[in-house]
Structure 1
Amino acid sequence: MKTLIVGASGATGKQLTEQLLAAKKEVKIIIRPHSNIPESWNQHKKLHIIHRNISEMKVEEMTEIVSDCDAFACCLGHNLTLKGIFGKPRKLVTNAVQLICEAILKKNPSQATKFVLMNTVGNQNRDKCEEISPAQKVVVALIRFLIPPQADNEKASDYLRLKVGHNNPKIEWVVVRPDALINEKEVSHYSLHPSPIRSAIFNPGETSRINVAHFIAQLMQNNALWNEWKGQMPVIYNE
């Protein structure tokens, strides 16, 4: 199995890359030309690094890149700067998800590939009609209007839910929703839930990035776990 990771230079993407390499899996990553990555990655025999801006790539180029991959993870996020939040591309994640999925379909794999999208608990799973309080609805609507990454996260998951769908023979997907992200050095106990068990706005929990990476890595490697969560949007909390 070879896994393609986009967003591998980010805090969670780095953790995922490290965990898959530690498990002796072959990994391919797409990172911006001047991204900061561990020096050891440049000499790693199981890691193929592609220095490209994914927002500038076309389907033909991506189709060639995905030709030998059967698992995909998108850990992209907007930089927490004024330019990153309010500048272009405003649909960074959505466009990347669409680009990769179109490339997979053009490749026409003989069996279903795995696609994991890292998202946020602030994005509801509209397949489940998750209920939130009126106050939270107002706050989320304001965030959606004022902060472009919120709408981007929603549209990215909607692309998988509605465009790729739940019965696509070529692409199976899971959307992983962490709560407030924190940094920890080691994987710790965490819990998984089909829907949030607390308010993402008024009573948020915590999720360490290394735990998110661990869950995604396990999804890639454990078919029983994959079958449990495919087509869903599990929420992950630190215990």
Structure 2
Amino acid sequence: MKTLVLGASGATGKLLVEQLLSMGHEVKVIVRPTATIIDTWKNKKKISIIEANISEVSVEEMRDYLSDCQSVASCLGHNITMKGMFGKPRRLVADAVELACKAIEQNASDTPVKFVLMNTTGNRNRDLNESIAFGEKLLIGLIRLLVPPQVDNENAADFLRVNIGQKHKQIEWVAVRPDSLIDNDKVSEYELYASPIRSILFSPGKTSRINVANFMSRLIAEKDLWTKWKGQMPVIYNKEE
């Protein structure tokens, strides 16, 4: 199994690459030319490093990158800085998802390619008509107006949910929704739900980045787990002690 990881230099992306490598998988990563690359990656035979700005990659280039990959994982996100939140590209995640999907379609593989997207509990799965309190709905609407990354995350998941859908012949997908992200050194027990079980604004849960990486890597590696969640937007929480 070979996986192309987008956003591999980010906090969760690095962990996902390590999880995949530990499983014996081959990995390709696309990282910004200015990104700091982990030294050990440079000496590992099972990782290929592509230095490029994802927003400048053409469909043809992406098609070549994906020609020998059976899965794609995106941990792309906006840096929590003024430039990262409000600067360009505003559609970093959504455009990358669309780019990869177009490239997969052009490759026309006989076997569907798995696409795993890291998303957020701040984005509802409209296929399930997830309920949300009126006050929370108003606040999320305000966030949508004031914080561009919120809309980007919504558009990215909606492209998979609506444009790719459930019956695409070349692409199967899962959008993983962690709650408030925290850092932990080791994988711990976690729980998976089809929809949020907590208020994302008034009573959020916690999800460690390494647990997100573990779940994403397992989705790619484990057939039964993929079958259970494909075409869905599972929510992941750390198991409370």
Letter in 1 for 2:127: D
Please say if 1:229 is aligned against 2:225: no
SS in 2 for 1:111: coil
**What do the CA deviations read for 1:27-80 (whole angstroms, capped 9, x no partner)?**
000000021121010111000000000000110111011000010000000011
Q: Which residue of 1 aligns with 2:124?
A: 124
Q: Which residue of 1 aligns with 2:111?
A: 111
SS in 1 for 2:67: helix
Q: How does 1:16-27 map to 2 (within 5 A)?
A: 16-27=16-27
SS in 2 for 1:19: helix
Letter in 2 for 1:92: L
Question: Gaps spanning 5+ residues in structure 1: where?
Answer: none
CA distance in 1 between partners of 2:145 and 2:179 (Å): 20
SS in 1 for 2:216: helix
SS in 2 for 1:68: coil
Letter in 2 for 1:175: A
Q: How does 1:1-239 map to 2 (within 5 A)?
A: 1-239=1-239
**What do the CA deviations read for 1:127-161 (whole angstroms, capped 9, x no partner)?**
00000000000000000000000000000000001
CA distance in 2 between partners of 1:60 and 1:3 (Å): 18
Letter in 1 for 2:140: V
CA distance in 2 between partners of 1:63 and 1:83 (Å): 30
CA distance in 2 between partners of 1:157 and 1:3 (Å): 19
Q: 1:24 offset after TM fit, Å? A: 1.2
The TM-score, its normalising length taken from structure 2, stands at 0.99
* Structure 1 ranges of 4+ moved more than 4 A: none
Q: 1:23 offset after TM fit, Å? A: 1.1
Letter in 1 for 2:85: I
CA distance in 2 between partners of 1:212 and 1:64 (Å): 28
CA distance in 2 between partners of 1:198 and 1:136 (Å): 12
Question: Gaps spanning 5+ residues in structure 2: where?
Answer: none
CA distance in 1 between partners of 2:137 and 2:54 (Å): 33
Letter in 2 for 1:137: K
Select between 29-38 and 102-111 the one with higher mean Cα deviation.
29-38
Q: 1:173 offset after TM fit, Å? A: 0.1
CA distance in 2 between partners of 1:147 and 1:123 (Å): 13
Letter in 1 for 2:38: P
CA distance in 2 between partners of 1:11 and 1:57 (Å): 22
Letter in 2 for 1:180: S
Equivalences, count = 239
**What do the CA deviations read for 1:105-137 (whole angstroms, capped 9, x no partner)?**
000001111000000001000000000000000
Q: 1:97 offset after TM fit, Å? A: 0.1
- Percent identity between the aligned chains? 56
